[in-house]
């Protein structure tokens, strides 16, 4: 069956065994730790809590992929990432831009054609081209940062930091197989660690913004 087809795409994997990628598997704890941390910090911000749950699922899905290394596990790895992107975009469109839910949903859905149009362009990049499927994300984060710089400068700066971390993690992901001879362990595990930090940071940036708005509204209502 196609879903059971084996996948070998990383330096660390030298065979079909469950523990053939122990470091790549173990470092998915970064996602789970970040998810638990942000769950505790996100009390009172429902969308941040939802993102924390999805972040935990990213860690589980990636763990399954780096232990089973089959097509079904690859789907379990990628699907939560896609969900996180769409939920985060919806949250920002609704709660930062102030869009009505249906408008925020439509703007969020526009990510799909945006990615479809830009991925082929990014495939031509040196080094990062192998991670072209992810590059639309940090680019969009930077676009949002520019557009929000006057409206919400603290949030915009947080987005820039997140985009920089994501570009670093994409670099680690992209050079993994290129450096197998020099680094047999590979560098994919850095993608996990940096992404766990980055996704947790992005939730925190959003949480701080929503909390600050709620705080200002409370002050206004009390005066």
Segment 121-153, tens digit of pLDDT: 999 999 999 999 999 999 999 999 999 999 999
Long-range contacts from 11-20, C-beta under 8 angstroms, 24+ separation: 11/176, 11/177, 11/179, 11/180, 11/183, 11/184, 11/185, 11/186, 11/187, 11/188, 12/184, 12/185, 12/186, 12/188, 12/189, 13/69, 16/69, 18/67, 18/68, 19/67, 20/69
Query: Is the pLDDT confidence value at 220 over 90?
Result: no
- Domain locations in the chain as residue ranges: 20-216
In this predicted structure, what is the pLDDT of residue 84?
A: 98
Confidence grade of residue 9 (pLDDT, cut at 50, 70, 90) = confident
At 155-203, the pLDDT tens digits run: 999 999 999 999 999 999 999 999 999 999 999 999 999 999 999 999 9
Please check the confidence at residue 219 and state whether its pLDDT lies above 70. no
Mean pLDDT of 31-58: 98
């Amino acid at each position: 069956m196609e879903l059971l087809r084996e996948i070998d795409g990383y330096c660390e994997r030298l065979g079909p065994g469950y523990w053939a990628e122990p470091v790549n598997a173990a470092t998915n704890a970064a996602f789970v730790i970040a998810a638990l941390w942000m769950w505790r910090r996100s009390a009172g911000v429902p969308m941040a809590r939802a993102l924390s749950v999805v972040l935990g699922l990213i860690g589980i899905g990636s763990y399954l992929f780096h232990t089973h290394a089959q097509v079904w596990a690859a789907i379990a790895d990628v699907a939560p990432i896609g969900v996180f992107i769409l939920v985060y975009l919806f949250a920002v469109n609704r709660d930062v831009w102030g869009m009505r839910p249906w408008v925020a949903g439509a703007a969020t859905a526009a990510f799909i054609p945006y990615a479809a149009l830009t991925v082929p362009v990014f495939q031509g990049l040196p080094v990062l081209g192998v991670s072209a499927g992810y590059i639309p994300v940090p680019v969009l984060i930077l676009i949002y940062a520019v557009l929000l710089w006057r409206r919400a400068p603290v949030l915009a700066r947080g987005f820039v930091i997140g985009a920089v971390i994501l570009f670093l993690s994409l670099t680690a992901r992209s050079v993994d197989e290129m450096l197998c001879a020099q680094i047999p362990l590979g560098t994919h595990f850095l993608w996990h660690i940096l992404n766990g930090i980055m996704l947790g940071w992005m939730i925190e940036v959003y949480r701080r913004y929503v909390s600050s708005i709620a705080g200002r509204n409370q002050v206004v209502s009390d005066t």
